[in-house]
Structure 1
Amino acid sequence: MTSFQPEAGQQQPPDSVHPRESTPQAPTSISRLNETIRDAVQRWGTVWVEGEITTWNVRGGHVFGRLKDAATDAALSFRVWSSTRQRLAADLAVGDLVVACVKPDYFVKTGDFGFTVSAMRHTGLGDHLEKLERLRTQLRAEGLFDPSRKKSIPFLPQLIGLITGERSDAEKDVHRNAEMRWPHVRFRTVYAAVQGERCVPETLAALASLDADPDVDVIVIARGGGDPQTLLGFSDERLLRAVAAATTPVVSAIGHENDHPLLDDVADVRASTPTDAAKKIVPDVAEQRALVSQLRSRARTRLTQRVAHDIAQLQQLRSRPVLRDPESLLTGRAHELFTLVGRGRDVVGRRLDAARSDTAELRASLRALSPGATLARGYAIAHLDGGVIVRDASQAPAGTRVAVTVARGSFGARSDGEFAEQASPAPDEVGDQP
């Protein structure tokens, strides 16, 4: 390589050399070159351009974004300072078709070129955003966004399927954060392009492969952040319908917090970042250990309280008189039973004596009134055939058979007719004589 050295006495300070007059012996400085470019750029003034917003990032109150020409896909970067942003419409977002007043800027210190927006207004939806909105409406009408059709993630997946770019930061984030939460977690990773024309077919193939594996419990589709243009593959209708038809739960972990492809709406679980996906698919072993310890402590406390309560209740029961001296209850009941038995015997004895006395009196009354007693005094009863008692002598004319009943037995007799005799005294005049 030839080295150019200025001749002695001819070297000039670089800042004093105009870029067009620079030579190997008299180079200009970077500062002078950048200042020259800045002066030339500033002479352009402001320009009105039309394009679709493809990037809209807010940092520190300022907006940094990109506009794309819908016809040629040419793009430019722009910035909106916070003071200007306050005058713009509040609903400006990615996908909007806008007309913007831009002024080119060239920064001397860094050599960066860009455009500063001083005014911007809507003119409609961009082509891509309009297509996405139509697709979003269609899929919502078909029920693909319905929470009731989404599958739940297992509490602790045995094998996690991961679809991501090869050697990507998203893969590292998912692995690192998942292993920090659960060290024994296992992955089956299938690499696929995460942007460009190969994104959709390769992601579909990876999804089909993982969904067919019975050991895979959950599938994560992950990639890092990017502008909406690079994330269009994750809003492709073919991929969305394949995710909806998958039998394995699918987690969408595309981009950063503000990125929102349609895959987030169709997937069973939406993670804002790959790191967030790792937190959602595996539990934190430290939290689970703390929970187990807490549950053990609660169970131990509850069991201790229950045992203490039962011991106190048992002691209370044992302190009762009936359990402290069971025989006292039996003794008291025995005395009471003995008293009642004695009273019962007395009552029964008195009632028996009274009954005997009543029986004797009744027996004497019966004896006094009994016909047998009259017969025992020598009287007899004469009966005709048929049991008719003879009360008048005319009832038994001569030849009539008569049955005579005396005190002890009866005998037969035949009537001789009426018997005339001297008047005999009445029974009450001769006492007990017949």
Structure 2
Amino acid sequence: MMQAVEFPIPEGSITVAGLTDYVQSLLEDNPQLRPVWVVGEVSSCKSHGSGLFFTLRDRQDGSLLHGVIWKSQVAKLATPPKLGELVVVGGNIRLFRGRGQYQLYGFQVLPLGAGMQALQYQQLRERLTAEGLFDPRRKRSLPEHPQTIAVVTSPQAAAWGDIQSTLRQRYPGLQVLLSPTGVQGDRAAASIERALARVAADGRAELVILARGGGSAEDLAVFNDERVVRAVALCPYPVITGIGHQRDESLADLAADVAAETPTAAAKRAVPELERLIQAHRDRQQRLEEVMMTYFGGVRSHLHQLRQRLDIAPIQRQLNREQQQLQNLKQRLIHASQQRLQQAQQRHQFLQERLTTINPQIVLDRGYAVVRNPRGEIIRSAEELRPGRVLSVKLAQGWVKVKITSTGSEGPAPFSQS
């Protein structure tokens, strides 16, 4: 058995707490830091029940300083910190012992003008506006009943799950294509640009959703990148942006055909709700029946008046004229009724065919099957599977469990001869 070797503690060693106390005394007892006025660009700012938590960024080297302004001081500020604004913050430097991190505890904020981020944003916005990329006349209308939609987002993001769930509930049978991309970081702009190019090259989509959830100004800065804005503006299909944020709209929002507040809202704008379409059809059918009943009632009343006039008109010529008018009205009534009924039948047949085409049971009845893994997920590619795995196969009538013996990428596997 090995024995632990004890090494002597070097002379002059200090504990973590001791070092923290020493650094804390250097920071908090330094007269040059009590108070201190710090110039920086506000790169993030979040309101909390206890106060405002913010980050200042140096415009020269990008270094960051975290700070807090407690709730009791917020009302005394000359101006609250705003994202992208260059400010000078007065406060005291203190050490947060739990993390060994120093912070600026602010008591006053003074504006110094627009920060670099805000200035670059405004300059780019003005230049792209002059080029016409944000012109409302460039906006395209969305297809009323799209069959295929492409989604450009991160496959790991919650936004992707929200969009799939919303589209599945509102419009069953819709084909949804994912063009994966990064949505944060230095490489995200190029990644989004490539993802939109893939959608254009694929050619199946009728509509594109560009989405990500909320985040800080740094997280969402990619949607102000010129490459992303141009890719959105030049996309051959209508684009809906669903970028969750509570700030000024991004340049990508301005270039898009429709800008929604969140990924879920973007999915709702993309497709109508099937149940509402069905109900609208039923309402139109009911109104048509009511109009026809009213029309027939008016015709019957008019016929009754004509009969009364015929009863009191002994002259044969008057009788013939009234009979001719009655015949004309009858023909017009029959023709109008046939037209209205034909339109209603065509509309009913269209919706019936539409419901039939999106019924998954019909696909199963044609001999196809739905294969799911043990977690209930639908299997779309053999590359996801390995021999020995047990799968559930849903048929038109019932289901079976199968075990994989082999996989391949092209054509069905041949059956072995026993």
State the TM bucket, normalised to the shorter chain.
0.5 to 0.7
Q: Distance in 2 between matches of 1:217 and 1:131?
A: 34
- Residue matched to 2:304: 315
- Residue matched to 1:74: 63
Tell me if structure 1 keeps the 8 A contact 2:151–2:177. Answer: yes
Q: Distance in 2 between matches of 1:49 and 1:117?
A: 10
Tell me if structure 1 keeps the 8 A contact 2:74–2:80. Answer: no
Q: Distance in 1 between matches of 2:51 and 2:190?
A: 38
Q: Distance in 1 between matches of 2:251 and 2:51?
A: 27
CA positional deviation for 1:42 = 5.5
1:319-358 alignment to 2 at 5 Å?
Answer: 320-322=308-310, 324=311, 328-330=314-316
Q: Sequence identity, in percent? A: 31
Are 1:84 and 2:70 counterparts? no
Tell me if structure 2 keeps the 8 A contact 1:228–1:259. Answer: no
CA positional deviation for 1:263 = 0.7
Give the TM-score, by structure 1 length. 0.62
| Structure 1 residues 271 and 90, CA gap change in structure 2 (3 angstroms) | farther
Q: Distance in 2 between matches of 1:240 and 1:88?
A: 36
Are 1:116 and 2:100 counterparts? no
| Structure 1 residues 265 and 210, CA gap change in structure 2 (3 angstroms) | same
SS at structure 2 position matched to 1:67:
strand
Rg (Cα) greater in structure = 1
Q: Distance in 2 between matches of 1:50 and 1:57?
A: 19
Are 1:242 and 2:231 counterparts? yes
Residues 359-396 of structure 1, C-alpha deviations (whole Å, 9 max, x = no match): xxxxxxxxxxxxxxxxxxxxxxxxxxxxxxxxxxxxxx
CA positional deviation for 1:250 = 1.2
* Residue identity matched to 2:120: K
Give the TM-score, by structure 2 length. 0.64
Structure 2 residue runs without a partner (length 5+): 5-13, 320-418
CA positional deviation for 1:285 = 2.5
| Structure 1 residues 311 and 65, CA gap change in structure 2 (3 angstroms) | farther
CA positional deviation for 1:258 = 2.4
CA positional deviation for 1:82 = 4.2
CA positional deviation for 1:223 = 1.3
Tell me if structure 1 keeps the 8 A contact 2:43–2:84. Answer: yes
CA positional deviation for 1:91 = 7.1
Tell me if structure 2 keeps the 8 A contact 1:98–1:122. Answer: yes
- Residue matched to 1:278: 267
1:206 to 195, 206, 210: 195
CA positional deviation for 1:86 = 2.9
CA positional deviation for 1:199 = 1.0
* Residue identity matched to 2:39: E
* Residue identity matched to 1:187: V
Tell me if structure 2 keeps the 8 A contact 1:250–1:268. Answer: yes
Q: Distance in 2 between matches of 1:264 and 1:304?
A: 50
Q: Distance in 2 between matches of 1:95 and 1:272?
A: 21
Are 1:142 and 2:131 counterparts? yes
Supply the RMSD in Å over aligned alpha carbons: 3.5
1:33-432 alignment to 2 at 5 Å?
Answer: 43=29, 45-59=34-48, 62-90=51-79, 92-104=81-93, 114-258=103-247, 260-318=249-307, 320-322=308-310, 324=311, 328-330=314-316
SS at structure 2 position matched to 1:87:
coil
Deviates more, 1:295-304 or 1:79-88: 79-88
Q: Distance in 2 between matches of 1:133 and 1:317?
A: 76
SS at structure 1 position matched to 2:286:
helix
* Residue identity matched to 1:73: G
SS at structure 2 position matched to 1:103:
strand
* Residue identity matched to 1:162: V
* Residue identity matched to 1:166: P
* Residue identity matched to 2:41: E
CA positional deviation for 1:160 = 0.9
* Residue identity matched to 2:115: G
Deviates more, 1:87-96 or 1:168-177: 87-96
- Residue matched to 2:409: none
Q: Distance in 1 between matches of 2:39 and 2:136?
A: 39
Q: Distance in 2 between matches of 1:331 and 1:226?
A: 87
| Structure 1 residues 123 and 290, CA gap change in structure 2 (3 angstroms) | same
SS at structure 1 position matched to 2:110:
strand
* Residue identity matched to 1:329: I
